[in-house]
Structure 1
Amino acid sequence: MRKAIFIDKDGTLVRNVPWNVDPEYIQLEPYAGEALRLLQNGGYVLVVVTNQGGVAKGYFPESALSAVIRKVDALLAEQGVQLDGFFYCPHDLEGVVSGYAITCSCRKPAPGMMIRAAEELHISLEGSWMLGDILNDVEAGNRSGCRSILVDNGNETEWDLSPLRKPEFIAGNMLEAAEYIINCSGKNRSYGAHISDTDQRFY
């Protein structure tokens, strides 16, 4: 079984441009390429897991995501990084497009995308990590059995807290998260132990 890094797309891997599917506006977040190269060299497979509720809301067709995936692949290739999987959820219960405006098991904070990726790519969830910029990502990772890191770049604004939404570590950027994961390799799981005691959001 392989170990994986599950990566949220918008706001974590690439700059968050709301509802964007135009490849011209897709840019990697700072340190993303360096961070994923470090993790790839550390033996992790790299898998994007992203909510794309714009499909359900009628903002763009599902077919538009093919160009997005190609652009992300191209940007990462320039950094010497290759994704092993790209999973997206096109659903949103508040959407308007028939067939997509449904309750599903894949839209984060549900863990469906990670579970599906684990089955298809022979991944050990217990040995894997979830990286995301909001607590829905953290919850999805924790619910799947991964260890979760919050990349706290200002995109989480609600701070709706529960034990499942508590990250093991809070990183300031992707590279800090990657370095933490590499340093943790082979160590015992210790959920929440590395959150600063001064961070009152989690107490």
Structure 2
Amino acid sequence: MALNTPVRVPATGVVLDADVTVPPDARAVVVFAHGSGSSRLSPRNRTVAERLTADGLATVLTDLLTREEAGVDAVTAELRFDVSLLAGRLTEVVDWVGDQPGLGALPLGLFGASTGAAAALITAAARPDRVRAVVSRGGRPDLAGDGLPEVRAPVLLIVGERDPQVRQLNAVAATALPALPVPPVLRVVPGATHLFVEPGTLEQAAAMAADWFGTHLA
């Protein structure tokens, strides 16, 4: 049985809430970056995390905003698109994971949704020696801007068939990502809209993510 532990992660000027789940004999760790208006309690990302844990991967689900900031953002939506803020904090979470017994020596991947995908890609560019793989689900990789060409980790972009605008943004972003060490891959989940609420679509995305991490974090 996986051990789930609530923790508090220090970052610049704030402390972030996180949930760490470590299965027996974990072979890698995946840090989640939540997107627009979401949190570590997102049922969608928890579904993905449960699939990864079942495959032997530890997971770290972190709020990149404090409770107070999330309250402000719920009214103004001013922080959810502050990608530089989110990426800076995600990078600090990755550094924190590197200092944790039982996690620090494991290969590390990032899973980002919506604007969290941009934060994940910027962090991958900032920590090329630490981040070994990135998966984006319904993400906005275009918001990573100049960070895209600097990413050195293998990137999987998962989008819904019925999410045409985000599909196009991901297709364009894929052309800006380096082809080394492996070309970025764009996969479309049939019948899925942006939030993957259609029956079976989120499970397909989770399986794709598990396969990608299983391959590139081995």
Larger strand percent: 2
Larger helix percent: 2
Q: TM-score, length-normalised on structure 2?
A: 0.39
